Amino acid sequence: MSGSRTSTEGRRDAAVSESRRALTVELAVEFDADASGCPIAVDCDASAPVEHHVIDDTCHVSCPSSEDGTAVRHRQVHVDGECVCRIVASHGCCPSLQAAADGGLIVRTNPADRATLRAMIEELRGVADVVRIRSLVVDDGETATRSEVVSLQALTEIERETVERAILEGYYDRPRTASFDDLATDLGITSSALSKRLASAESKIMRSLFEDNDE
């Protein structure tokens, strides 16, 4: 009896995989008119987290059906091929849909590292028209309460694209996996232009950090 219990516990432990995730990212994912990359974006209008599960080839979704949010509309939609949630899950992450409206989604998840985030975004761009980073939270690992919240919402489109590319290419990694010159070449701009873009963007991000801390 004891041996059987030990064997069962061993199988259970072998099936469990845990890892600490220091990154929390919010992605804005936008689709064209038919939103074929996500059935949730077709007919769901919610400013709050959306309940959803993909089981086999069926996406189960519960969306608010009225402005007061007391009633929900449950939908079951057949999913063909890849979708946002399947892609996020394939990178070892749990997709949490924070909002859905106007043919787009806000997806929050916790990639294992920046390399995983880069690969995830690249694959998501295969099913969506636009994928951009809204915010990134980095836990410094030193305390239970301290973290860095990097919001890109205050940036211009060019600044956001530049910072996003810098994040994805590893310019902000430690150790850095992309040099300043590499980033400028990748963006097709001069070093001077890149310096100005990053200086402006980073200044806005820093102001945002201090404003958030003062609240």
| One-character DSSP codes across 106-146 | EEEE--SSHHHHHHHHHHHTTT-SEEEEEEEEEE-SSSSS-
Rounded CA-CA distance 146/39 in Å is 37
Residues of the domain holding 171: 154-210
* 95, two tokens: 């997709």
- Among 151, 176, 197, identify where a domain stops: 151
Does residue 89 belong to any structural domain of this protein?
Answer: yes
Q: Total domain count for the chain?
A: 2
Report how many helices (DSSP H) and strands (DSSP E) the chain contains, helices first: 6, 8
42 and 115, same structural domain?
yes
Report which DSSP code applies to 46.
B
Q: For the whole prediction, is pTM greater than 0.85?
A: no
Give the dihedral of Cα atoms 200, 119, 100, 205; nearest 10 deg: -20
- Among 105, 120, 151, identify where a domain stops: 151
| pLDDT tens, per residue, the chain with 215 residues | 555 555 555 555 556 778 888 889 999 998 876 666 677 876 677 777 888 888 888 888 887 766 665 778 888 888 888 889 999 999 999 999 998 887 889 999 999 988 899 899 999 989 898 898 888 887 755 544 444 566 787 889 899 889 988 888 888 877 888 899 999 999 999 999 999 999 999 888 877 666 655 55
117 and 38, same structural domain?
yes
159 and 147, same structural domain?
no
Residue 19 pLDDT: 80
Does residue 14 belong to any structural domain of this protein?
Answer: no
Question: In residues, how long is the chain?
Answer: 215
* 126, two tokens: 């295969």
Rounded CA-CA distance 162/155 in Å is 10
167 and 115, same structural domain?
no
195 and 101, same structural domain?
no
What is the amino acid identity at position 126? G
- Alpha carbon separation from 97 to 8, 83, 105, 125, 168 (Å, rounded): 35, 13, 7, 17, 22
Reported as type and span, the H/E element at residue 68 is none
Does residue 141 belong to any structural domain of this protein?
Answer: yes
108 and 56, same structural domain?
yes
